[in-house]
Structure 1
């Protein structure tokens, strides 16, 4: 899982991050498919993705009523809304004996041929909860599966923060053309690019570390690499050089 997360942090295309991670999460937790819900979602709105491709294809075939039922997140939406912790939990734990006969369980059996669901929310997410739902057929998830899911949560958060920053970066530089080529020409990795974006927003190393979920020492290492690759010596010069190269928006705060 760690190797996949590291690979995801070196991916320049933000839409590829979660499909890469979802398959690894399924393997780690003993699942067969994963649905990820990354933005605020309700019964009628919000983006959902799935892995593997077969699961994604089955979701695309669902009608409006079935999609609404799936988006409702039974029984996890109710479970997490009533508490502050974001520990992984199974549908059986959250709903008890009502889970097997629920409309959601029947839908999942018909659409994905699965019996059990494991909720893996992103720590810190609020209502509506964002995160992943891992599915499997046969026996329910074990305590070991839940333990592995809990261990994976910090990696999921790191990748999601990276995705959000890459999306922000692309939106900010969209009119100037694809920014990936400019970052590649400067030899900046995707991780260094997101650190550069936060530098341009005048965040301290401590703030950048909290934002990305990394240590201050790691932030300083990324900053040193950015200085070296851009041929600069300080924050102001780096931001000005990055603006000249089209790597950060010209209106970024300094």
Structure 2
């Protein structure tokens, strides 16, 4: 799991973070295939990605109605939405005898040749419910598989926070690829870039740690690395230096209004 974490948190392309995790969860949780949906598990839409490639190819052949079944994440959306508990659970344990006869179960049997599903949501009690669904055939997932899934949840949360930060950063600095190259030129890792973005928001080390799901000690280590790589000694100088280098958006002139503000 440590190797997965290192690979994910050093990935510069935010759109590759979930596919990387999904493929790892298949092996980690004793599955044969998996999908990830960083959007709400509902019919409302959103991106669905799959691993391995054979599973992705099968899903690409599905029509809108079948894709809607997968988007709902049955029975997991209904299982998790009313509660704050995000402990991984299998479809059979969540709804019992209702699972094998459900339209989703029939779809998965005919498409991926699987009949058991393990829900691995991003932890945290807030909505929407997002995360990964891991599939297998034969016997249901064991208690050990559920333990491994629960151990992987903090990594899912950390990766999702980083994905959101890096996507917002790219949108703010565009065009695509330019901010990533500037960060690479300064030898900043994606994790250090995430910490830099939160420093620019004036978050304390405690707040940065809570936002990224890491210890304050780890935050300080990242901050030391950022100072060293940018040649600065404090937060203010670091933010100003990062703005000059194009790593952070330039400050708005006094009295200006953010686009889209009331």
Identify whether the pair has TM-score above 0.5, normalized to the shorter chain: yes
Q: Deviations over 1:125-154 (max 9, x none)?
A: 534310110000111100110011111111
Q: CA RMSD in A?
A: 1.6
Report the counterpart of residue 56 of structure 2 in structure 1.
56
CA contact (8 A) 1:35 1:48 kept: yes
Report the counterpart of residue 43 of structure 1 in structure 2.
43
C-alpha distance in 1 between matches for 2:176 and 2:71: 36
CA contact (8 A) 2:89 2:146 kept: yes
Report the counterpart of residue 251 of structure 1 in structure 2.
251
Report the counterpart of residue 222 of structure 1 in structure 2.
222
C-alpha distance in 2 between matches for 1:36 and 1:177: 24
Report the counterpart of residue 69 of structure 2 in structure 1.
69
Task: For residue 41 of structure 1, report the CA deviation from its aligned partner.
Answer: 4.6
Report the counterpart of residue 34 of structure 2 in structure 1.
34
CA contact (8 A) 1:108 1:115 kept: yes
- Does the C-alpha gap of structure 1 residues 154 and 187 become closer, same or farther in structure 2, counting only changes over 3 Å? same
- Does the C-alpha gap of structure 1 residues 96 and 208 become closer, same or farther in structure 2, counting only changes over 3 Å? same
After TM superposition, the structure 1 stretch with the greater mean CA deviation from structure 2, 35-44 or 5-14, is: 35-44
Task: For residue 181 of structure 1, report the CA deviation from its aligned partner.
Answer: 1.0
**Stretches of structure 2 lacking an aligned partner (at least 5 in a row):** 253-262
TM value normalised by structure 1: 0.96
- Does the C-alpha gap of structure 1 residues 134 and 123 become closer, same or farther in structure 2, counting only changes over 3 Å? same
**Stretches of structure 1 lacking an aligned partner (at least 5 in a row):** none
CA contact (8 A) 1:41 1:47 kept: no
Match of 2:157, SS? helix
Report the counterpart of residue 24 of structure 2 in structure 1.
24
CA contact (8 A) 2:42 2:77 kept: no
CA contact (8 A) 2:87 2:120 kept: yes
CA contact (8 A) 2:84 2:125 kept: no
Task: For residue 40 of structure 1, report the CA deviation from its aligned partner.
Answer: 2.9
TM value normalised by structure 2: 0.93
Match of 2:174, SS? helix
Match of 1:132, SS? strand
Alignment pair present for 1:202 and 2:202: yes
Report the counterpart of residue 120 of structure 1 in structure 2.
120
Match of 1:134, SS? strand
Q: Deviations over 1:159-197 (max 9, x none)?
A: 111111111111111149611111111111111111111
Alignment pair present for 1:8 and 2:8: yes
Match of 2:119, SS? strand
After TM superposition, the structure 1 stretch with the greater mean CA deviation from structure 2, 91-100 or 172-181, is: 172-181
Report the counterpart of residue 161 of structure 2 in structure 1.
161
After TM superposition, the structure 1 stretch with the greater mean CA deviation from structure 2, 36-45 or 126-135, is: 36-45
C-alpha distance in 2 between matches for 1:45 and 1:184: 34
C-alpha distance in 2 between matches for 1:187 and 1:161: 21
Report the counterpart of residue 86 of structure 2 in structure 1.
86
Match of 2:161, SS? helix
CA contact (8 A) 1:42 1:128 kept: no
C-alpha distance in 2 between matches for 1:176 and 1:113: 38
Match of 1:96, SS? helix
